[in-house]
Structure 1
Amino acid sequence: MTKFINPGLVPTSRRNILRGSVLAGAAALTGAAVQASPRAPRMAGINRASADLYHVAGEQQSDSTAVPADLTGYTRVKMELVPPPFAPAHEQVATGGPKIIEITMETSEVLMTVDEDTGAEVWALTYNGSVPGPLIICHEGDMVELTLRNPVDSMMEHNIDFHASTGALGGGGLTHVYPGEETVLRWKATKAGCFTYHCAPGGAMIPYHVTHGMNGAVMVLPRDGLKDADGNPLRYDSIAYIGEQDYYLPMDENGDYRTYEAAGDDYGDSLEAMRGLIPTHSVFNGAVGALTGENALTSKVGETVLMIHNQANRDSRPHLIGGHGSYVWESSFTDPPLRDMETWFVRGGSAVAAMYTFEQPGVYAYVNHNLIEGVMLGATAHFVVEGEWDNNLMEQVVAPRAFAT
């Protein structure tokens, strides 16, 4: 059962200040009377039923008839999560029986620069300090056991909703943690595929947290690994984990991006900006240029890369300029992969895997092929590929030159 603690046990007066400012902002935006909960800065004046839903789902677990988990045959392993665009060490084909994969994540509130050229910045709400949160990998039949910690100096409540899991709103009803708290959630990976996870405290705080970077992806591999439509094994040399993030950054009357002293201070301004449904930025891995230039992804001719693309809030259309999606799984690994896709589709609130073996050296641009977002809003990454050029695939027969009229 979800535990509601005495407000006197909630550390730091800063959270009480935040609760007052946030609730006042909610009332101003909705014209509603707002009453603070005893434990958190929840949005009581904004969609009260939705705000309470994740807590109610947690309370439902007090049912004494719940079937105890049978952990017979499971072995425990620790997975060290790593920052994106990298993937944690893992097996492509599972060995041995099912495992309980132990991971730890911390809900860090971090001031991040979104675009150095314009000075745009955001108090990002993160898992482990990165946007997106770290990639989690397991196999079908495994259990993921997450320790979720909210640092004592945080300003807000956080939780986690795993789209790959079953029950309690994806675990969102069982993982509410306030500053200084931790919780442990264990869930079974019953579906193979790529899935989003995200923070979902309740009410308007759900889109607020998601659009401030608090989302990531889980890949649940089949126990015998990836296969094509005929059952032939497919293997990759590396993973490129790309999280597409839409930001809605408030501006002042002069069109300059506003700055804020602490996480949550932008709540009222952000809600107004979000209501327009027009992002100021759509970027890969948290910021403009996060995966270009010195930060570009690298590979070699002949290497196979599995590109995992997560978008927790909006539809996206990834395209690898100069390459293809040789095999594309739109979330599920149970269905045969799509073949030789020029552009593939990521539904908002999902993650997709696409596999490609590089055949030519050079720079490949990986973009959202809504080119307004890809070029103007920041959704571009680069792969820098080393190797020998193959004129059988492409050749510049004549270099650019003037021609006679």
Structure 2
Amino acid sequence: MTRHPYSRRRSFLKAAGIGAVAALAGCTEDGADAAAATPATEATDSLDSTASVDVDRIAADPTDVPDPVDWNSPRTHDVTLETKEVTAEIEPGVTFDYMTFDGQVPGPMVRVRRGDTVNLTLRSPEDSNLPHNIDFHAVYGPGGGADATTIGPGEEATIQFKATYPGVHIYHCAVPNMDHHISAGMFGAILVEPKEGLPEVDRELYFGQHEIYTNGEAGEEGHHEWSTEAAKNEEPTYMAFNGEAYAFTEDGYGRIPVEQGDRVRIYLSNGGPNLSSSWHAIGNVWDKLYRDGDLVSDPGRFVETTPVEPGTVAAAEIETPVPGPIKIVDHSLTRVVRKGLLGVLEVQGEERPEIYDPDP
């Protein structure tokens, strides 16, 4: 998968911890300016030392979206997903044991047309420790395919299904401890385009929101273990886009560049496993909103904030007439300020004072 231009690692905000990264007005992501605003929470129990990582990056590239459907008759697609259990950083100095599809969070987007057939193979390496499966919300069948795809280490299973109904749907692991597996990264999206296709846009982006429940505090260096108790209380340590705190900010892999005037369609897969998202773009609105993955009803227009329930994928389009940052957030803003849930687009172009003038 292409990593450029978001391949650099960010420096750990030692002075601020995670809490101050977005503390200033407008949810700025400049950690240096925010460092004194909110001190890191002091943990009550010490963590184990930071574990060695298996991958340098767990966050999927939001620009890695399959091309739009350009065929007019049913096709058959062979799709293979591999379960990968890896240790990676939530933020520098903070490690966690993730569970993933294909080693990234969220798992790769699958894109087909209504009426297409999918041959899906789920494969688990021999060095895996746990059983896994996959529940596609686009599948008619027991468990959305989960019953037939439950596999152990070194095993694989294949199912075939027809993409009968259009929409953008979540997929996720659905073993008995599914809250742990989903929280640790095992979710993604399948886009079933209507037979007539989707309206053309200039750019498409794909994010996955989820909660990470650990035995530590946000910003506390060391190896964080999954906490069943925190999950039961629905008190996440981190909330993230694509598995990492503040991944797509200046302190992360950088803002995502967008050309001025582009119409951008954004997909948000809310893996949860528990909390709804109040999805909002600071400095913009959802010009067209496809609620709950519904791609056939008339979209909502000029919506400021929309709920995206866990187990749901939403799609929305924005226009970009004015240069500068557009901050993608959950408007439950403590999640932005203190738990890591912020991504930033950077619209690149000329000032448009007739639309917005910061210094009239």
Question: Is the partner of 1:278 in helix, strand or coil?
Answer: coil
CA displacement, residues 312-336 of structure 1 (integer Å, 9 cap, x when unaligned): 2221011111111111111111211
Show the counterpart of 2:334: 372
8 Å CA contact retained: 2:112, 2:191: yes
Q: TM-score, normalised by structure 2?
A: 0.78
Which residue is 2:164 aligned to?
190
Instruction: Spell out, residue by residue over 1:232-274, the C-alpha distance to the aligned partner (whole angstroms, 9 max, x if none).
Output: xx3112211010120001139xx956637xxxxx4xx621221
Which residue in the other structure is 2:137 paired with?
163
User: Is 1:108 matched with 2:84?
Assistant: yes
- Whether 1:360 and 2:319 are equivalent positions in the alignment is no
Larger radius of gyration: 1
How far 1:357 sits from its partner (Å)?
Answer: 2.0
Match of 1:84 in 2: 61
SS at match of 2:284: coil
Provide the C-alpha distance between the structure 2 equivalents of 1:250 and 1:333, rounded to a whole number of angstroms. Answer: 40
Q: Give, as a single letter, the amino acid of the residue that structure 1 aligns with 2:62.
A: P
- Larger CA deviation: 293-302 vs 331-340: 293-302
- The amino acid that maps onto 2:168 is C
Q: State the alpha-carbon separation in 2 of the partners of residues 237 and 337 from structure 1.
A: 18
TM-score using structure 1 length: 0.70
Do the aligned residues in 2 keep the contact of 1:107 with 1:158 (CA within 8 Å)?
yes
Q: Structure 1 residue 272 and structure 2 residue 249: aligned?
A: no
Asked if residue 250 in structure 1 is aligned to residue 227 in structure 2, the reply is: no
What is the CA–CA distance in structure 1 between the aligned matches of 2:68 and 2:172, rounded to whole Å?
Answer: 25
**1:212 matches 2:195:** no
* Counterpart selection for 1:150 from 103, 118, 124: 124
Higher helix fraction (1 or 2): 1
- Please point out which of 287, 290, 294 is paired with 2:244: 287
Change in CA separation of 1:215 and 1:339 when aligned onto 2, cut-off 3 Å:
same
Q: Is the 8 A contact 1:139 1:221 kept in 2?
A: yes
Task: Note the alpha carbon deviations across 1:202-255, whole angstroms, 9 max, x for none.
Answer: 2xx1111111111111111112123xxxxxxx3112211010120001139xx9
User: Of 256, 260, 263, which aligns to 1:297?
Assistant: 256
Question: Is this contact kept in 1: 2:72–2:195, CA < 8 A?
Answer: no
CA distance in 2, matches of 1:296, 1:107: 29
Q: Quote how far apart the aligned CAs of 1:352 are.
A: 0.2
SS at structure 2 position matched to 1:390: coil
Structure 1 residues 186 and 219, CA gap change in structure 2 (3 angstroms): same
| Distance apart, 1:91 and its partner CA | 2.9
Tell me which residue corresponds to 1:31: none
Once the two structures are superposed, residues 94-144 of structure 1 have per-residue CA deviations (whole angstroms, 9 ceiling, x without a partner) of 42311111121110001011122xx33210000000111111111111122
The higher relative CO (CA closer than 8 Å, separation ≥ 6) is in 2
Q: CA RMSD in A?
A: 1.9
Separation in structure 2 between the aligned mates of residue 287 and residue 88 of structure 1, nearest angstrom = 19
Q: Indicate the SS of the match to 1:344.
A: strand
- The amino acid across from 2:68 in the alignment is E
What is the alpha-carbon distance in structure 1 between the residues aligned to residue 203 and residue 117 of structure 2? 24
- Indicate the residue corresponding to 2:193 in structure 1: 221
Q: Which residue of 2 aligns with 1:174?
A: 148
Work out the CA distance in 2 between the residues paired with 1:324 and 1:256. 35
Residue 285 of structure 2 corresponds to 324
Q: Work out whether residues 65 and 204 of structure 2, in 8 Å CA contact, stay in contact via their aligned partners in 1.
A: no
Distance, in Å, in 1 between the alignment partners of 2:205 and 2:194 is 19
Q: Which residue of 1 aligns with 2:266?
A: 307
Contact 1:247 1:280 in 2 (8 A): yes
Decide whether the 8 Å contact of 2:129 with 2:153 is kept in 1: yes
Matched, 1:259 2:259: no
